[in-house]
Amino acid sequence: MTNSLFNEKNIFTPELYVKGIYVAAKTDTDVFIKREDAEQCSKSSAIIPLQRGNVYVIRFDSKPQALRAAVCGKDPRELKAGEGMCTPINDRIHYFEDEPADDYNFMYIPNKEGEFLVVYTGEGEPELTVAVRPILLGYDTDDLWWYAPEQKDILGNEDSWADWRWTSDEVFEHIYEPLRAKYPEYITRRHIGKDQSGKYDMWAYIFEPKNYEQVLFLTSGIHSEETDGYLGLARFLTYLAESDGSHAGLDYLRNKVKLVVVPLVNVGGASNGHLRETLGGVNLNRDFDDRSQAETVNVLWLLNQYKDQVAAVMDFHTSKSKELDLYYVFPIEHEAASCWLKTTNHIYEYLKCRGLTNEPTALTHVVGKYRKADRFLQGHIYNHYGIPAIICEHHHFRWYEHHSAMSLQFAADFYGNFIIQTALAKLKIVK
């Protein structure tokens, strides 16, 4: 479940009955619990000093009910089914619906110096494990970041780069096919089937350097209304194909990493007004448990051809949320989380430098495991294939106009950095 990136510490082992988890502040003389209804720390509480920015995972090995109760601040005996699963932990971590937190994992990122986590117990001492991620949020590193140049818009004007209204066939015809024609040694394509309606073709594009040593599997447009996202990925891939060797990260990707890309999963939706769902009204990113749709089956069929080689699966989306600065979902206990956290740090700092996000609006993302999220592509893949998978959301409504040049630039930039960093992490070398 965990690996060497976790620095685990078993706090106490006896029986426990958790009454609450509280964040405490330290004064000169004592540690006080902030919540009014909590008692001051006693010997039956675990007090964990926290360092700003670290991600703490507190695992309740035998008491999932107790954790949920603690998150709710309720007596577990009064807890209703499902309660405690949708909880903003703080302004840096959000859970949503039934994804992705496990009952017994509690995650916390302190925003202030000198914060303590107090696990207050009624009787006995808590049976819990604290793991610390050695990755600070809110700090940038100098790891070969790639910066997308300024772009043209995707409004379909004479000087636009693309037209967001393009059908799926037009996206292939105007972007991917010319690229394949230009780099036939590097780019090939595979027909992976028809969509559920039977009318539209699904294609995979394979970017394969001669001497590749890794394989990444990329998907986008599973929600075909997210035009800026799948066109942003296409924009990045054109830069990749055209790489002149001047950027080391891009150059490594170009020469050492094979990309298996499904550029547009929901081809029917994209060809009929850019629907979120399929023509038959199915949300494909909730279909991976049932696998009732041809699109879902085709993507998994393709993944099965490469599954023993794939280092990571990356699914690119856009989000309409105006509340979250950044939104990424990935399994925090996998070593891939290290490079993904690093990349979210970088993007956050980049936005801050441009005056687009401010303290204390902080990095917001979802971390966790997907035991309960089989119906999501990334959850299904992590659960059933053991391949680390990430969902990257591009916030097209938060900082820029929809279909604007800036939206395209940021999608290409942020997606591109995630792909480059995942490659540089060398999660799985195949030859």
For the bound state, the minimum distance from the C-beta of residue 318 to Zn ion, rounded and expressed in Å, comes to 6
Shorter beta-carbon distance to Zn ion: residue 135 or 419: 419
For the bound state, the minimum distance from the C-beta of residue 393 to Zn ion, rounded and expressed in Å, comes to 7
- β-strand partners of 10: 129
Shorter beta-carbon distance to Zn ion: residue 317 or 365: 317
Q: What is the CA radius of gyration of the chain?
A: 23
Residue 14 preceded by cis peptide, ω within 30: no
For the bound state, the minimum distance from the C-beta of residue 281 to Zn ion, rounded and expressed in Å, comes to 16
Shorter beta-carbon distance to Zn ion: residue 186 or 399: 399
- Torsion angles phi and psi, residue 247, rounded to 5: -115, 120
Site for Zn ion in 176-235 (CB under 5 A): 223
- x/- letters, 107..126, toward Zn ion (CB under 5 A): --------------------
Which residues neighbour 53 within 8 Å (Cβ) at sequence distance 6 or greater? 109, 110, 136, 137, 138, 139
Sheet holding 310-318, edge to edge: 187-194, 201-207, 257-262, 214-220, 310-318, 389-394, 327-330, 366-367
CB atoms within 10 A of CB 409: 20
Written as six digits, the tokens of 173 are 């015809």
For the bound state, the minimum distance from the C-beta of residue 396 to Zn ion, rounded and expressed in Å, comes to 11
Q: At what angle do helices 294-306 and 377-385 cross, to 10 degrees?
A: 40
- x/- letters, 266..305, toward Zn ion (CB under 5 A): ----------------------------------------
From 117-125, 146-154, 240-248, 317-325, span contacting Zn ion (CB under 5 A) = 317-325
- x/- letters, 333..372, toward Zn ion (CB under 5 A): ----------------------------------------
Residue from the set 68, 254, 317, 365 that interacts with Zn ion by CB under 5 A: 317
Which residues neighbour 173 within 8 Å (Cβ) at sequence distance 6 or greater? none
For the bound state, the minimum distance from the C-beta of residue 392 to Zn ion, rounded and expressed in Å, comes to 10
Shorter beta-carbon distance to Zn ion: residue 110 or 263: 263
For the bound state, the minimum distance from the C-beta of residue 276 to Zn ion, rounded and expressed in Å, comes to 7
* DSSP result, 42-74: -TTEEEEE--TT-EEEEE-SS-HHHHHHHHHTS
Using CA atoms, how far apart are residues 250 and 411, in angstroms rounded to an integer? 16
Shorter beta-carbon distance to Zn ion: residue 109 or 299: 299
Shorter beta-carbon distance to Zn ion: residue 109 or 381: 381
* Size of residue set near Zn ion by CB under 5 A: 2
Q: Are 326 and 344 in contact (CB under 8 A)?
A: yes
Using CA atoms, how far apart are residues 228 and 397, in angstroms rounded to an integer? 10
For the bound state, the minimum distance from the C-beta of residue 223 to Zn ion, rounded and expressed in Å, comes to 4
Side-chain half-sphere of 189: how many Cα atoms within 13 Å?
Answer: 19
Shorter beta-carbon distance to Zn ion: residue 18 or 222: 222
* Amino acid in the structure at residue 428: K
Shorter beta-carbon distance to Zn ion: residue 68 or 317: 317
For the bound state, the minimum distance from the C-beta of residue 176 to Zn ion, rounded and expressed in Å, comes to 20
For the bound state, the minimum distance from the C-beta of residue 120 to Zn ion, rounded and expressed in Å, comes to 39
Shorter beta-carbon distance to Zn ion: residue 176 or 316: 316
- The residues of the shown chain that bind Zn ion, judged by CB under 5 A, are 223, 317
